[in-house]
Structure 1
Amino acid sequence: MQMASAVADALERQSTLLVEAPTGTGKTWAYLIPAALSGKRVVISTGTKTLQDQLYQKDLPLLAQSLPRRFTYSMMKGKGNYLCLYRFGQFLEQPTFPGLEVGSDFEQLHRWSMETATGDRAELSALPEGSPLWPEVSVKGEACLGSGCPDYDRCYITRMKQSAAASDLIVVNHHLFFADLALKDFSFGEVLPRYDAVIFDEAHLLEEVATQYFGVSISSYRVEDFLRDTEREVRFSQPQEKGYLDQCARILAKSNRFFQFFRRGEERYRLTRAFFSREAVTAGHDLLQSLDLLRQQIHAAQVKSNGFSHLAERIELFSADLQLFLTADASTPFVFWGESRRLGVFLHASPLDISALLRQKLFEQEIPIVLTSATLSSGMQSRGVLQYAPTATGAFDFVKERLGIEQADEAVLPSPFDYEKQALLYLPSHLPSPTSPPFVPAIAEEIVRILAASGGRAFLLFTSWKNLEEVYRLIAPRVPYLLLKQGDQPKHALIETFRSEVSSVLLGTTSFWQGVDVQGEALSCVIIDKLPFASPSDPLIAARIESLTDQGKDPFMTFQLPSAILSLRQGIGRLIRNREDRGLLAILDHRVTRKEYGRHFLASLPPSPRTDRLEAVQRFFSAGASAGASG
């Protein structure tokens, strides 16, 4: 009720509101009800598709039946989630492509295409997540013909936009919201209809997503996608013209040569001036020249088609992006970095600091904006007190500085859970330093002992794939429970198996630290390998550290530490999800108790009993088993 009142007030006063609302406080109702009653068109943006689907499929239908005021609502997802009628029609005429196996996937897709009213891939649950078929028939951002498409009126994207334009509440995710904001920024049009207010749930993800969409990326895959689309269009609109295909082959060769200069290992790496040798820049200009020759051929074509002409526009967009990398200098406000994934090479130019951009494009637009999350503050100050800005607590200083928020009302709400009775915090002090070689074998031994006490039923959360794989290798022969490892199946399938197999153990990295909601006995233990400090070797992190140092600020205290605290709080939030849950939280990194900065982590943890003794862990689970038996 406190939060709902604050949200209603922000919507009425056109102000910005930050609310930290722990799991169990009912925050979705606390913003949905005021939004539905406000009479405004409100965009509700989530960090995950899981929450987006929950709002649209469960919460809003129930509210629509319950509230005295009628309201309409709709959901918008990114283009890649929808079937493209134009591309699907082409695929039906030429359903075989080199290296593409369709088989039963195609049969399922074909049946579904004749039944679906939305074209949303989420309806097609039987299609494997990694099926190579979907990219061939779904809407592609650059490839979308927009109003020039012959299927525009029937298009699922068109219908989605029309539905949103007629709705009071529009449920989107952060990726779509910032894609739209970036499009407005570069005058390429817009995705969302005009809105009167924005509510961001899972707002702790905003900086990461906004950084992605206000940057520029090129890749060898992007060139290959363009060439496949070009070859397909040539076959349909210019079937006699072999010259286009010959030029596509030359472009592919030039692209392979250019991107080869930037290939490294699988880790992300900074693109220093050394990468941009004379040979690399020359190869880039050769690629530009080859693309321009194809553009000239397209403009000179005697047979015109919207699809064919749109290819020339894509060449211009890619060429402008490529030029940014070829002409970059020290004054460019971007961090240039790269990554190699399998056969692809990706080059990125990310803004070093998005706070000024977000302040200008979003927070100075004089519309009410609500930001909420279970973890939005980087401390535990004044918990349980609803406060209005200006405040003296500093609880939201970190997120406000990172996002460019100058003035906001603030609320830090208490958890409804009794952590004194529901949870135990285990901080073993005997383990080696997390930076030493014996650390991983030692935590593997400790995990085996903890799982023996808990009877499985655990999330093992890791800060790196390397630690996850090594611990899995060490414990797999010794743990008598079903082990589920991230990457072996789609995330949703792993979660469902974990729920149903009560004694199972799930090992995950970054994406499993948040957005996972497993209630009840199945999740009775969360084990975290290390404090989740972002790697200082990551190119974006390294650049931000350098920038803060140049400004005379302490990058550890002002950036690295608060970021890690927010990440840790997300991870531990997986454990207690309702008033009946009971479980153990184990952090296997002794820096939390030995380092001076550890007190900041400890202050951010739930107020549960703490121990460094395994015997206390065993008694905790024995007591729980006894209580369950007597119950």
Structure 2
Amino acid sequence: MTYTRFVVTDLETTGHAAKGGDRIIQASFVIIENHQIIDQYTTFINPERSIPVFIEELTGIHPEMVKDAPFFHEVAPKILPLLENAVFVAHNVQFDLQFLQAELEEAGYLPFAGPSIDTVELARVLLPTSDSYKLFDLTTSLGFDHDRPHQADSDAYVTAQLLLMMIDKLKTMPLVTLEKLAKISTHLKSDIYLLIQSIIEDKQHNMEQLPEQIEVYRGLGLRKKTIQKRWIEKSQLSYPASNEEKIQLLAQLPHFERRDSQMDMMNQVYQSMQQSVHLAIEAGTGTGKSLGYLLPAVYRSKQIGEPVIVSTHTIVLQQQLLNKEIKQLQMMLPFPVSVTVLKGRSHYLDLFKFFQSLRETKDNYDFALAKMQILTWLLETETGDVDELNLSSGGWLFWNDVKQDGDYMNKGRKAWLDKDFYLFAKKQAKEADLVITNHSLLVADLMAQSPLLPSYTNVIIDEAHHFENAARGRMGISIDLSDFKYLVSKLACDQSEGLFIQCEQLYEKFEASVQNDKREVIERTFNELLFEGEEWFKVLHTFFEQHTKKWSGNGHRRQLRLTENVRQLKLWQAVEYGAERLHEMMTTLSQLLQQRLTEIAPYREQMAAKDQLKIDDLQALMTQWEEFLFSLERIIFRPEEDEVIWMEGDSRSFANTFVIKSHPVSSGELIKEKLLNQKHVVFTSATLTVNRSFRFFAEEVGLASQTYQQVMLPSPFDYQENCRMIIPNDVPEINEVKTDEYIEALASHLMAVAEAAKGRMLVLFTSYDMMKKTHDLMKDSGLLDEYVLLAQGITNGSRARLTRNFQKFDKAILFGTNSFWEGIDIPGEDLSCLVIVRLPFSSPDEPFTQAKNEQYAKEGKNAFSAYSLPQAVLRFKQGFGRLIRSNRDRGIIIVFDRRIQTSVYGKTFLASIPKVTVEEASLSETVSLVENWL
């Protein structure tokens, strides 16, 4: 049957529980026939109960609007004909369908019995790269007019438009893709397979013409990829040295603003590259830092005929560079600019593995959804980079099975070589003017035997204040409980779906006289290993629990540094004994399996491609196995002098979060030896100096012993004019009162300030526990009922989603810890008040801080002034930078930590930020200051 009639529905209700007595207050039905919207029926409904305040706020529907509205049983005769022979469609269809069924039953009618389609599920499949699948977010990003979200008529109409757009998209897909989608879609929750099937039937009656950019290869629809060759200028390109020349280029950009500091930065970066002298350049907020280094980098790349590497810390900045600044560069320069992003191998899809996975039929829901998302994405992506996808947590488990993970070459993979995403990215990088990568891959490349990045001379390190930390992380090793569980579950020597048994079955095809006693030894060893692993992690858990209870920590996360003293504690001997047993079993099993792989090797060439893949998977797994073994031995039995080792875990979910990490205390030597001595480097960030000196940063990254230039470009924003800093003088000092007393005082101040600022407030904490208690106190007070309180780790959603929601509501307060001190950008009036609760010193209990302090003490230095203070100042500068994001922004910063004025070191914080007026004030003075200022 071809489905051509859809009834797209949205219901507004008094709550979420149809079975708990919640009722419909507004219903809207949009009728689609033959791909046209032909009608819409909307009505308010008297719910015969009160409408909660939060529903009124969300929907704008108040009791007066439904008081004289019909009851559901009165409108049912109008609704039922609309549903006849139709597919029921809604955004989150289960919600609307359960309410409709409950109301029909209550009114004495039979429930709706037709098929249903969920546009959330369909959007996940067909728009796999969307940031969010909420109706408002989705339709806004697609450019639909959605003026009254959370009102049924507006929501239903825009959902109907979304459905028609997605049906159009399905119609443009190659038949091979549709057939694969149809096969998998039977695993979904709504009846999407009926829709796909009806489009397939239509397609089968016509000759298929593929869009120009699509090809079908071995039954997979793919977007075509071509290497963009580097454009070479016949005559030597000259860099636009004068400001007039730069302005001529920059003036082509919409909303161009002349920024002398940006042009100064361009010259500094270009000269540094020409003279091959390292450069550390701090560019204050609003300088236009990204274009400030990208423009000279392109000219330098063209002149020397090789790529310039640009390394960032976050994926967010990589995407921003690609989507904004690179496009601006390409718009303003009179010649083509080639740019590519290069990431670690595991970011890329392995097409052969994915192709094989489509033959598996026992999918769970998340795996089926992820497969369908990837099938759609393959028609759009040129990169095959997973960061483009929006996968569910179960979808990430599927990604582990289909990501690139080794260089093993088999028949199957050879066939996909020309289409391989990782090789394509590497080839494109060789032809690029700019290669954008991340700190972690850059450091991995410095340590690798064979290079991952193309040959380069110049590298620009943006977000450079994170580089030393990222290098330490990359140089570190770990024992991860979830990694161990993954390795043994994948190997599963005692289960038919395990890699070992699958490889054994292959072996038996070629070797009739397989010695089963060997297999039995492997299975027995594996089972002993499972037992030893379980026992060891139990001992670790007990040891960790016993010795971390007193540590206040960050929320539920606990840490314990493994010092010599800790290794003398009760139970540590049991930890070592268990590790020894585990190491012994893992080594024995590894030797037995390697022996088996050697025995299978002669038959490899006779195997089918899919069978070779299994052998390669086992070989790759054994490589990971060896890495785990190495980490186990090094961390437990052979700790080194210059490293810090610690345990870490979440008390709520030990099995999924427990890890023992080992990092070098410093990565400066490696950076100096492998990078600074061999390449030319530009380090840049908005926060590199402490008290106007680069010394701390230079020592951390190994730059202090090199010849380098240092440049500070202040922010062009007028902080003196647009910003005030207040230090409340009637809040107790935290160390003079009990924590709960301090939090009560803090919460009452914050509530008064929130009222004065009408929300629009970001509150930065250094402790998760303090943040949670303050948030809960404010929420439970009942004084902020009209405000939306959003808190990291308490309110659902990522940092980006919380920030978006904060901007969406007029009266909102956003609470954050660690990651919220930087990287969030809330320009304009959305953020008018920034609160810093404590100066951001690292906890002295934090393992790395302890180790660093000990290192400085050994060198005879004052650890506080040499390390803890500069670290805190840089963090403070990051937090301070959240407030003023454009030259039109105005705002107030409230610092509750009076040490900024009372301590000797407090002036270092104030001297390190742009000049602002600082005043002490009582609560009532603060409130009137905020009201008057804003």
Cα deviations across residues 173-231 of structure 1 (Å, max 9, x unaligned)?
2222223223x2xx3x3322221211011111112111101111121222222234435
Distance 1:589 1:441 in 2: 15
Q: What is aligned with 2:869?
A: 561
Q: Alignment partner for residue 397 of structure 1, among 695, 701, 720?
A: 695
Distance 1:506 1:516 in 2: 12
Q: What is aligned with 1:144?
A: 406
Q: Alignment partner for residue 561 of structure 2, among 270, 294, 298?
A: 270
Offset of 1:88 from its aligned partner?
A: 2.8
Distance 1:617 1:458 in 2: 14
Amino acid at match of 1:545: N
Distance 1:29 1:77 in 2: 22
Offset of 1:617 from its aligned partner?
A: 3.7
Greater mean deviation of Cα atoms: 37-46 or 5-14:
37-46
Q: Kindly indicate whether residue 486 of structure 2 is the aligned counterpart of residue 225 of structure 1.
A: yes
Matched position secondary structure for 2:728: coil
Matched position secondary structure for 1:193: coil
Q: What is aligned with 1:251?
A: 529
Q: How does 1:585-600 map to 2 (within 5 A)?
A: 585-600=893-908
Structure 1's 103 and 595: CA in aligned 2 closer, same or farther, altered over 3 A? same
Q: What is aligned with 1:431?
A: 731
Offset of 1:527 from its aligned partner?
A: 0.9
Q: What is aligned with 2:848?
A: 540
Q: How does 1:477-516 map to 2 (within 5 A)?
A: 477=780, 478-479=783-784, 480-487=786-793, 488-516=796-824
Q: What is aligned with 2:329?
A: 63
Q: What is aligned with 2:591?
A: 292
Offset of 1:616 from its aligned partner?
A: 4.6
Question: What is the root-mean-square deviation of aligned Cα atoms in Å?
Answer: 2.5
Amino acid at match of 1:336: I
Q: How does 1:158-557 map to 2 (within 5 A)?
A: 158-182=423-447, 184=448, 187=449, 189-231=450-492, 233-234=499-500, 237-239=503-505, 248-263=526-541, 264-265=544-545, 266-272=557-563, 273-274=567-568, 275=572, 277=574, 278-286=576-584, 287-301=586-600, 304=604, 305-329=615-639, 331-341=640-650, 342=653, 343-344=655-656, 345-365=658-678, 367-379=679-691, 381=692, 395-405=693-703, 406=705, 407-435=707-735, 436-437=738-739, 438-477=741-780, 478-479=783-784, 480-487=786-793, 488-557=796-865
Offset of 1:250 from its aligned partner?
A: 4.1
Offset of 1:247 from its aligned partner?
A: 5.2
5+ unaligned residues in a row in structure 1: which ranges? 382-394, 626-631
Amino acid at match of 1:335: V
Cα deviations across residues 478-517 of structure 1 (Å, max 9, x unaligned)?
3231111213202221122122223222111111111111
Distance 2:778 2:277 in 1: 52
Q: Kindly indicate whether residue 282 of structure 2 is the aligned counterpart of residue 20 of structure 1.
A: yes
Cα deviations across residues 345-375 of structure 1 (Å, max 9, x unaligned)?
211111012111211111111x221111111
Answer with 1 or 2: which has the greater Rg: 2
Structure 1's 519 and 276: CA in aligned 2 closer, same or farther, altered over 3 A? farther
Residues 341 and 437 in structure 2, CA contact (< 8 A), matched pair in contact too: yes
Residues 348 and 404 in structure 2, CA contact (< 8 A), matched pair in contact too: no
Distance 2:407 2:505 in 1: 20
Amino acid at match of 1:362: L
Q: How many residues align?
A: 601
Report sequence identity in percent.
30
Distance 1:95 1:525 in 2: 54
Residues 484 and 494 in structure 1, CA contact (< 8 A), matched pair in contact too: yes
Matched position secondary structure for 1:133: helix
Amino acid at match of 2:318: Q
Q: Kindly indicate whether residue 886 of structure 2 is the aligned counterpart of residue 573 of structure 1.
A: no
Residues 203 and 372 in structure 1, CA contact (< 8 A), matched pair in contact too: yes
Cα deviations across residues 141-195 of structure 1 (Å, max 9, x unaligned)?
894345565544433222211211211100112222223223x2xx3x3322221
Offset of 1:50 from its aligned partner?
A: 1.0
Distance 1:201 1:81 in 2: 21
Offset of 1:594 from its aligned partner?
A: 1.8
Structure 1's 429 and 147: CA in aligned 2 closer, same or farther, altered over 3 A? farther
Distance 1:140 1:588 in 2: 50
| Structure number with higher relative contact order (C-alpha < 8 Å, ≥ 6 residues apart) | 1
Structure 1's 531 and 474: CA in aligned 2 closer, same or farther, altered over 3 A? same
Cα deviations across residues 574-622 of structure 1 (Å, max 9, x unaligned)?
0000000111111111221222211211222331222222445434443
Amino acid at match of 1:77: K
Residues 142 and 314 in structure 1, CA contact (< 8 A), matched pair in contact too: no
Residues 687 and 874 in structure 2, CA contact (< 8 A), matched pair in contact too: yes
- Normalising by structure 1, report the TM-score: 0.89
Offset of 1:63 from its aligned partner?
A: 0.8
Matched position secondary structure for 1:144: coil
Q: Kindly indicate whether residue 299 of structure 2 is the aligned counterpart of residue 37 of structure 1.
A: yes
Q: What is aligned with 2:377?
A: 112
Distance 1:140 1:30 in 2: 39
Amino acid at match of 2:683: L
Matched position secondary structure for 2:842: coil
5+ unaligned residues in a row in structure 2: which ranges? 1-262, 493-497, 509-518, 546-556, 605-614
Greater mean deviation of Cα atoms: 74-83 or 508-517:
74-83
Q: Kindly indicate whether residue 338 of structure 2 is the aligned counterpart of residue 72 of structure 1.
A: yes
Offset of 1:246 from its aligned partner?
A: 6.1
Residues 427 and 588 in structure 1, CA contact (< 8 A), matched pair in contact too: yes
Q: What is aligned with 1:387?
A: none
Distance 1:421 1:4 in 2: 28
Distance 2:374 2:616 in 1: 26
